[in-house]
Amino acid sequence: MEQPPKRRSERWVERRIERRGLRPRDAAYLIGAFWAIAVIVFGVLERIIDPKTFHSVWLGMWWAVETVTTVGYGDIVPSQTAGKVIAGFLMLGGLSLLAVVTAIVTSGFVARAQAERAPGSDPVLAKLDELGRQLEAVKRELDRLSGDKSPGESS
């Protein structure tokens, strides 16, 4: 089956990823844009689904923002079941958004620490190298001892 031709935006994204890779900052922008659109869409949906509770689209978007950011003031709460399902998606999405932002900040700190560390100064790697040398010495000694025995000898 032949693939449909790619859109211009898809080709641009692929070229950018091939050239520079997907950096944490790019992922943050993508996630931020996604959730900004989600806040607008779910705010409008809440207004349509529950017009008695959400008197305007702006109120629906305010509720979506406080739900995605996991603030949840409680000043406005959906009363319809569909609105509560939407709230569930927004809450789970908000948690994932916070996890990704935390991961991006952490990866930035780790990358900076790795860049500042001088080559060969990692104590864990130095200890692993030492253990590797000791293991090789033990293997050589075992090979030497097993080679000294005559074929009919047993221990």
* Domain CATH code at residue 26: 1.10.287.70
Mark whether 107 and 134 lie in a shared domain.
no
Mark whether 89 and 108 lie in a shared domain.
yes
Mark whether 87 and 15 lie in a shared domain.
yes
Share of the chain above pLDDT 70, in %: 89
Task: With respect to residue 155, please indicate whether it lies within any of the assigned structural domains.
Answer: no
**Cα separation of 93 and 31, whole Å?**
10
Count the domains in the chain: 2
Task: With respect to residue 36, please indicate whether it lies within any of the assigned structural domains.
Answer: yes
Task: With respect to residue 1, please indicate whether it lies within any of the assigned structural domains.
Answer: no
DSSP code, position 149: S
pLDDT at residue number 106: 84
**Cα separation of 21 and 32, whole Å?**
19
Q: Is the pTM of this model over 0.85?
A: no
CA-closest candidate to residue 86, choices 42, 31, 144: 42
Q: In terms of residue numbers, what domain contains 125? A: 120-148
pLDDT at residue number 94: 84
Task: With respect to residue 55, please indicate whether it lies within any of the assigned structural domains.
Answer: yes
- 27, 104 in Cβ contact below 8 A? yes
pLDDT at residue number 137: 96
Q: How confident is the model at residue 1 (pLDDT cuts 50, 70, 90)?
A: low
Q: How confident is the model at residue 47 (pLDDT cuts 50, 70, 90)?
A: very high
Mark whether 81 and 26 lie in a shared domain.
yes
pLDDT above 70: residue 150: no
In this predicted model, which residue has the larger pLDDT, 120 or 40?
Answer: 40
Mark whether 55 and 91 lie in a shared domain.
yes
Q: How confident is the model at residue 33 (pLDDT cuts 50, 70, 90)?
A: confident
Task: With respect to residue 154, please indicate whether it lies within any of the assigned structural domains.
Answer: no
Q: In the Cβ-directed half-sphere of 68, how many Cα atoms lie within 13 Å? A: 20
- φ/ψ region of 74 (left if φ > 0, alpha if ψ in -120 to 50, else beta) reads left
Mark whether 99 and 140 lie in a shared domain.
no
Mark whether 94 and 24 lie in a shared domain.
yes
Average pLDDT, the chain: 83
- pLDDT tens, position by position, 63-111: 999 988 888 788 888 888 988 898 898 888 888 878 877 887 788 788 7
pLDDT above 90: residue 40: yes
